[in-house]
Amino acid sequence: MINRGPAANPGREAALHALMHLLAQGRTLTSGLAQATDSIADPRDRALAQELCYGVARWLPQLEALLHRQLDKPLAQRHCDLRIALLLGLYQLVHTRIPVHAAVAETVALAGACRKPWAKGLINGVLRGYLRNRDALMAVIRQQPEAEYAHPGWLIDAMQRAWPQDWDSILVENNRRPPMTLRVNARRSDRSTYLKRLATANMEADAAPHTTHGISLAVPSEVDALPGFKDGLVSVQDAAAQLAAPLLDIKPGHRVLDACAAPGGKTAHMLECAPQLASLLAIDRDRQRLERVPATLERLGLQAEVAAGDAAMPQTWWNGIPFERILLDAPCSATGVIRRHPDIKVLRRSSDIGGFVDHQAKLLEALWPLLARGGLLLYATCSVLPQENTAQIARFLAQHPDARERAMDAPWGRSVGPGRQILPGADGMDGFFYALLEKQE
């Protein structure tokens, strides 16, 4: 934990704390930022903290390369807070429109917040040095793929192997800010009506392509400022994730399983689309994340059975009655949502992928017996790596004669046989993979 010293800008100091959680402790930005901004009252300072720490995470390999070229030797680990302050300063100078004098002065002030007043000269010197030598430094950076694309080397290699024609555009899209996309609650309103409410509130928005209830905001907003959010009119959900519920083709009277449900966005969407279900069971083994599901459903005026359980061990929670529909939104590398969660580039390792693949295979094997004859299982990931997607499903189909792929005649994504893949940024959507499996009669 950083010792507090002379006052610094609350947003920048919060960003410093959040990045310490990420870079020193290996915790997600979501958790670190929530803790760091908990006591900040001004929404402008909270917004600044989010912009800065997400921006540093997004461009970290590039910022690290710039910092490395301006230091005689790397900073000792005990000065991790100082290193982060320098990264925050560089990010503001390279990637924001914050005035130079403000970016430099406020970053220098962080030395006091770290109780390292001796470092003020170092911070000022590094930032002024970048400004003096900007063109030469950036020319060097462009010769280093990890710095140029702001991705770790293993991930660049993985994208080049998986998508030889698209890898560079994927990496560029990963570094863009994602749109804020809403899903209108079909039980309480419709898209055209809610678009009018947004217009009345002077919030510019458009219909999200390929969705029936999706809306993309021109400018992101705090959820509490969205008209009717507290009353359950809308939820925040990317357009690609909104494709899951319609793909399942849920009918009245169906029994439905959402096998990895937390935090509950797709659970809610299925209930909004098909209100006359026999039942919907939402399970997840992460009890802390699962706590968010009942709160989400209550806000939206929906009901489902929610239970803690490991989808890979149905004997501990299944009552033996088959489901007509199963959604398996499988844990994955999340390489399709890096633009939304840039800390993935920091936290994920190449060695993690094999573990995800093994776990996904176990989930498929465990859940397939729970599906009724003629039923559908939708396999979904937010990954763009074929070993988690097409290769996973191809192997499953080869090993299960009673399983066949149901083709998705869709205007989105691309057929990758089996399944359909959406690449990051396509039609404004996150990277997602879907495969629809039918159990033969």
How does pLDDT run across 99-136, given as a tens digit for each residue?
Answer: 999 999 999 999 988 889 999 999 999 999 999 999 99
Give the 3-state secondary structure percentages of the chain, helix then strand then coil, rounded to 5: 50, 15, 40
Tokens 């217009």, residue located: 199
Instruction: Name the band, by pLDDT with cuts 50, 70 and 90, for residue 367.
Output: very high
> Which residues in 327-346 are b (16+ Cβ under 10 Å) and which e?
bbbbbbbbbbbbbbbbbbbb
Mean pLDDT on 57-83: 95
Find the mean pLDDT for residues 216-227. 95
The percentage of residues in the chain with a pLDDT greater than 90, rounded to a whole number, is 94
Instruction: Tell me the sheet residues that pair with 206.
Output: 216
End-to-end distance of the chain based on CA atoms, in angstroms? 59
Instruction: Give the whole-number percent of the chain exceeding pLDDT 70.
Output: 98
- Residues serving a catalytic function are 382
The confidence score (pLDDT) of residue 5 equals: 41
Contact status, residue 364 vs residue 328, Cβ threshold 8 Å: yes
User: Strand 432-439 and strand 214-217: pairing?
Assistant: unpaired
pTM of structure: 0.94
- The helix/strand count (H/E) of the chain reads as 19, 13
CB contact set of 352 (below 8 Å; sequence gap of 6+): 333
User: Within 10 A of 209 (CB to CB), how many other CB atoms are there?
Assistant: 14
Residues 186 and 235: their CA atoms lie apart, in Å, by 11
Average pLDDT, the chain: 95
In tens, the pLDDT along 262-292 reads 999 999 999 999 989 999 999 999 999 999 9
Query: Binning pLDDT at 50, 70 and 90, where does residue 16 land?
Result: very high
Superfamily of domain 180-227: Sun protein; domain 3 (3.30.70.1170)
296 Cβ neighbours under 8 A, 6+ residues apart? 235, 263, 264, 265, 267, 268
pLDDT grade for 7, boundaries at 50, 70 and 90: low
pLDDT of residue 3: 43
Helices (H), 37-180: 43-58, 60-68, 80-95, 100-113, 120-132, 134-141, 145-149, 153-162, 167-174
Looking at per-residue confidence, does 410 or 6 come out higher?
Answer: 410
Contact 419, 435 (CB under 8 A): yes
Q: Per-residue pLDDT averaged across 42-50, rounded?
A: 93
Length of the chain: 441
Q: Write out the two tokens for 313.
A: 């061990």
Domain map of the chain by residue range? 10-150, 180-227, 241-439
Q: Assess if CATH 2.40.50.100 describes domain 10-150.
A: no
pLDDT at 2: 43
**pLDDT tens string 370-409:** 999 999 999 999 999 999 999 999 999 999 999 999 999 8
Residue 239 CA neighbour count, 13 Å, CB half = 26
Cα gap 86→64, rounded to integer Å: 9
Task: State the Cα angle at 435 between 245 and 211, rounded to 5°.
Answer: 35
Chosen CATH of 241-439 out of 3.40.50.620, 3.40.50.150, 3.10.520.10, 3.40.50.720? 3.40.50.150
Segment 146-161 shows an average pLDDT of: 98
Angle, CA 238 vertex, CA 234 and CA 241 arms, to 5°: 105
- Cα 129 from Cα 124, distance rounded (Å): 8
**Which pLDDT value is given to residue 113?**
85
Taking alpha carbons only, the member of 189, 274, 269 closest to residue 236 is 269
| Average of per-residue pLDDT across 74-102 | 96
For the segment 400-439, what is each residue's pLDDT rounded down to a tens digit?
999 999 999 899 999 998 999 999 999 999 999 999 999 9
30: Cβ–Cβ under 8 A, 6 or more apart, which residues?
A: 341
Confidence of residue 211 (pLDDT cuts 50, 70, 90): very high
